[in-house]
Structure 1
Amino acid sequence: MTQADFVVVANRLPVDRDDEGGWRHSPGGLVTALEPVMRKRDGAWVGWPGKADLELDPLEVDGIFIVPVALSAAEVENYYEGFSNDTIWPLYHDVIAAPRYKRIWWDTYVAVNRRFAKAAADVAAPGATVWVQDYQLQLVPALLRELRPDLTIGYFHHIPFPAYGIFAQLPWRRQVLEGLLGADVIGFQRVADAGNFARAVRRQFHYETRASGIRVPTPDGGTRLALAKAFPISIDADSYVELAQREDVRARAAEIRASLGNPRKILLGVDRLDYTKGIRHRLKAFGELLGDGSLSVEDVTLVQVASPSRERVEAYMQLRDEIELTVGRINGDHDTMGHTAIRYLHQAYPREEMVALYLAADVMLVTALRDGMNLVAKEYVATRTDNRGVLVLSEFAGAADELGSALLINPHDIDGVKDAIRRAIDMPAAEQGRRMRALRRRVIEHDVEDWSRSFLTALDATRPDAR
């Protein structure tokens, strides 16, 4: 097998298997961020191909060495749908939905993490750097360190890390912390997340934590320093700016406005259909503004894109029913023959169409109840090359730490959300420009390349030969 100096370990591969047995590139931001690094550092990517019971040999796709990890249907159900998305996801998002704790889910999670660690250990060259991604693989760093103590190991946590009072509910809390502490650098979206992690380590193990460093015992009786720190992720800002300036995309944005009846203002929400995104709160606020006469459907339309997500998980099926019922009721109460209150789109769209929607929207509503980052907020900002438009942003999204010039809201405060929507709709052009220029400067200067570079620089600094 090929030996790689740089290995990414993620739940999913950077390519998707098509129906003809070929491969197509995944459009995700993580792939965009890491592709240049993979090529420069002779990289390999370890991940699941996305279909159950698919056994594939390692192969090269578009210059990236791919190491597929097979999962059975039962493992997908227990490790991915079960422990990852019905235990960890709701727990780490402040128990917005109730997590479920099943021992068979945990046992499968351990077994699958062990398989990922073994695959990474097999492909990593001596002294290689391995970067593990996200909550599905929290045990991999320590498992990998056991197998290959010569490796430099990083881990990035893309979702929130909860306060200790919430995290402590997890029956396997010590094992998860031990898994993460196998990394030399443990990256988080927010300073608060890194602090929550360090506090959990202190409470559980009484390890010394100073600044961003955690003293972790080693098998030889000594200690090593693990760095737990915030590295806020971002987007490929240049590609969004480029798309926003394309004539066909701008023409499509004008088409979208016309198809909605050319309202005075268009509000936009773009989310995965997930209970953490605050879609219900957003709809409630908008429905009340129509109901009390503050807004009219002739003047203002809300476009809500809710891409399908985890459709086999019960909580998500219930959420979809509830949201569609709410949209139907609001539209039934307020639609006219020529205007619709809410244009609801339960589907995913290609990037060009999303940018056209961003350009068509006067106000972007990001009302997450809890979010690691929320890259949609950054995508919207990047496309606003005319420095117009208003971002209404939840203070509980990681993006709020960086995008302070947005209108920040508490999504649980429905009256506050209504006030922010009214203010966004009526905001003078000069104020829009002042806020948007500050937002765009932040997003363009701190893009996804800056994120990966800053993390990997910190990781390289932990190598024995760098000390």
Structure 2
Amino acid sequence: MASEKQGEYDFIVVSNRLPVDRQTSPDGTEYWQASPGGLVTALEPMMQASGGAWVGWPGRPDLEFDPFDHDGMHLVPVSLTAVEVERYYEGFCNDTIWPLYHDVIAPPSYHRVWWDAYVRVNRRFADAAARLAAKDATVWVHDYQLQLVPMMLRESRPDLTIGFFNHIPFPPYGIFSQLPWRRRIIEGLLGADVIGFQRVGDAANFSLAVRRLLGHSVRRAGAIDIEEDGKPFRRVISRAFPISIDSRAFEEVAKRPDVQARARQIREDLGNPKKILLGVDRLDYTKGIQHRLKALGELFAAGELDPEEVSFVQVASPSRERVETYRQLRDEIELTVGRINGDFGSIRHQPVSYLHHGYPRDEMVALYLAADVMLVTALRDGMNLVAKEYPAVRFDEDGVLVLSEFTGSADELRTALRVNPHDIDGLKAAILEATRMPQADRRRRMRAMRRRVLENDVARWSSSFLDVLREARGNSAARDESHVDPVLEQAGSGA
């Protein structure tokens, strides 16, 4: 067990969750296990090289954990009470911000007691980072749960270089303006030197909110000039930095003989259908699972797809099961799956296999290899990394990706079959095209997607953000002397 070393860390990551999960072995012994995910993969080498610290909640309420070291990283747990989990996390984060930022697909709830908890918890995270940070350290804050932390850090530690990355969409002003605490959120984010978003449109939405709410001018390349007493005070860079995956690691798993054998076994277990369609999502109303089920049901009913020759596998990992909206969604999806299988299934074959649990990476890669068509029909998604994982593993250069235009991945994976998931007829047409596409066309499209995913991996994402952050902060002295900084203009134009 390591003690908290105050003021000793030059690089600090702050996120809602620590990069580890608390596990219990069969003999009752508890231990920490690294969490899967692109953020951990991207930042772990940097954390290990710099001796950095990571601040986050360990995932269990009402428990205090001392700081500890894990895989070369110093981890500093921030405790939350059960009431705070209910109000800050399940309430404000996931029943206010999440639906609001996802185009109000579900109605957000606005409760002052939730907001108060959000402010209180953000303060706790900011205080922990401020204690750990060495003079002139860099702090990288992540995601919508911690939007107030940048300004809280700026006020207590003006020497710090502060970055913020928003992993989910940022909504148009007409939607964002519904939030009663809209000004406080914008002010909180503007404490950062660089604010990153998944898509160019998200950065533009944020810039408009800044102009409308605070009156700051937004210059070329997302440079936001903040004045104090009518004079230039700070400049904040707001830009798109589309996140990615550790594509080489996924490809390496896909090339393992045991994983390839598992992919063949999956096809056999499904009865060796002519086509396997796959959906992999967290169970969430933003993912468009109902839309793809509706399209498939209509294709079966019209005889355009033979339910005896097609298998659709839907993996829906559990999510926020204490939130009523998610419980209702699960019931609706399970009812629809049962109806399709009841109408079109037989004793020997069920056209839809619905799996409501998570899987380790090896099993997911085997599913990707087994699937002829990948369906990503999100109604709104910051990026959607499943859309990048699928081409990353398809070293055989086969398979078809049907991809919602409302995902960040659609900006990069141009040769996917793009769909508007609200357009059920268009979605049906894309599914039919995917199942009937000639091999030469499949390979041409897949080669282009793989090239993009392999070149723009998660390491390139993190380095591009941090390069701009260092450059922006490195010119802080010049910003104090001049309203226009040509180096910063260049930093904001692209990494």
For this structure pair, what is the TM-score category when the shorter chain's length is used for normalisation?
over 0.9
Deviation at 1:465, TM superposition (A): 6.2
1:216 aligns with 2:221: no
2:253–2:365 Cα contact (<8 Å) kept: yes
2:402–2:419 Cα contact (<8 Å) kept: yes
1:81 aligns with 2:90: yes
* Runs of 4 or more above 6 Å deviation: none
TM alignment of 1:46-445, pairs within 5 A: 46-211=55-220, 212-217=222-227, 222-445=232-455
Q: How many angstroms apart in 2 are the aligned matches of 1:329 and 1:21?
A: 42
Give 2:205's aligned amino acid. N
Deviation at 1:36, TM superposition (A): 0.8
Q: How many angstroms apart in 1 are the aligned matches of 2:323 and 2:433?
A: 37
- Deviation readout 1:373-395 (Å, 9 max, x if unpaired): 00000000101101100000000
Residue 14 of structure 2: aligned partner: 9
**SS class of match (2:137):** strand
Q: How many angstroms apart in 2 are the aligned matches of 1:198 and 1:164?
A: 9
Give 1:15's aligned amino acid. V
Q: How many angstroms apart in 1 are the aligned matches of 2:150 and 2:398?
A: 44
Change in 2 beyond 3 A, CA 1:306/1:28: same
Give 1:399's aligned amino acid. S
Q: How many angstroms apart in 1 are the aligned matches of 2:32 and 2:333?
A: 35
Deviation at 1:221, TM superposition (A): 5.6
Deviation at 1:188, TM superposition (A): 0.2
**SS class of match (1:326):** helix
Gaps of 5+ in 1: none
Q: How many angstroms apart in 2 are the aligned matches of 1:220 and 1:168?
A: 26
**SS class of match (2:242):** coil
Q: How many angstroms apart in 1 are the aligned matches of 2:50 and 2:231?
A: 33
Q: How many angstroms apart in 1 are the aligned matches of 2:401 and 2:457?
A: 18
**SS class of match (2:30):** coil
Q: How many angstroms apart in 2 are the aligned matches of 1:439 and 1:219?
A: 50
Give 2:357's aligned amino acid. Q
Q: How many angstroms apart in 1 are the aligned matches of 2:436 and 2:38?
A: 33
Deviation at 1:222, TM superposition (A): 3.8
Q: How many angstroms apart in 1 are the aligned matches of 2:134 and 2:231?
A: 27
Give 1:406's aligned amino acid. A
What is the aligned counterpart of 2:467 among 454, 457, 463? 457
Change in 2 beyond 3 A, CA 1:110/1:221: farther
1:44 aligns with 2:53: yes
What is the aligned counterpart of 2:31 among 6, 22, 31? 22
Q: How many angstroms apart in 2 are the aligned matches of 1:65 and 1:120?
A: 12
- Deviation readout 1:221-270 (Å, 9 max, x if unpaired): 64211000000000000011001100000000000000000000000000
Gaps of 5+ in 2: 479-495
Deviation at 1:61, TM superposition (A): 1.4
State the Cα RMSD in Å.
1.1
- Deviation readout 1:185-215 (Å, 9 max, x if unpaired): 0000000000000000001111010121001
**SS class of match (1:18):** strand
2:251–2:392 Cα contact (<8 Å) kept: yes
- Deviation readout 1:335-367 (Å, 9 max, x if unpaired): 012221100000000000000000000000000
Deviation at 1:415, TM superposition (A): 0.3
Change in 2 beyond 3 A, CA 1:452/1:218: farther
Residue 493 of structure 2: aligned partner: none
Deviation at 1:329, TM superposition (A): 0.3
Q: How many angstroms apart in 1 are the aligned matches of 2:398 and 2:473?
A: 45
- Deviation readout 1:437-466 (Å, 9 max, x if unpaired): 000000000000000000000001022368
Q: How many angstroms apart in 2 are the aligned matches of 1:260 and 1:115?
A: 50
Deviation at 1:372, TM superposition (A): 0.3
Instruction: Out of 47-56 and 17-26, give the one that drifted further.
Output: 17-26
2:51–2:72 Cα contact (<8 Å) kept: no
Deviation at 1:60, TM superposition (A): 1.1
- Deviation readout 1:117-153 (Å, 9 max, x if unpaired): 0000000111000000000000000001011000000
TM-score normalised by the chain length of structure 2: 0.93
Q: How many angstroms apart in 1 are the aligned matches of 2:167 and 2:325?
A: 22
- Deviation readout 1:289-317 (Å, 9 max, x if unpaired): 00000011221110000000000000000
2:225–2:232 Cα contact (<8 Å) kept: no
Change in 2 beyond 3 A, CA 1:458/1:249: same
**SS class of match (2:430):** helix
Q: How many angstroms apart in 2 are the aligned matches of 1:181 and 1:465?
A: 17
Deviation at 1:430, TM superposition (A): 0.4
Q: How many angstroms apart in 1 are the aligned matches of 2:186 and 2:440?
A: 49
Q: How many angstroms apart in 2 are the aligned matches of 1:229 and 1:68?
A: 30
Q: How many angstroms apart in 1 are the aligned matches of 2:43 and 2:36?
A: 12
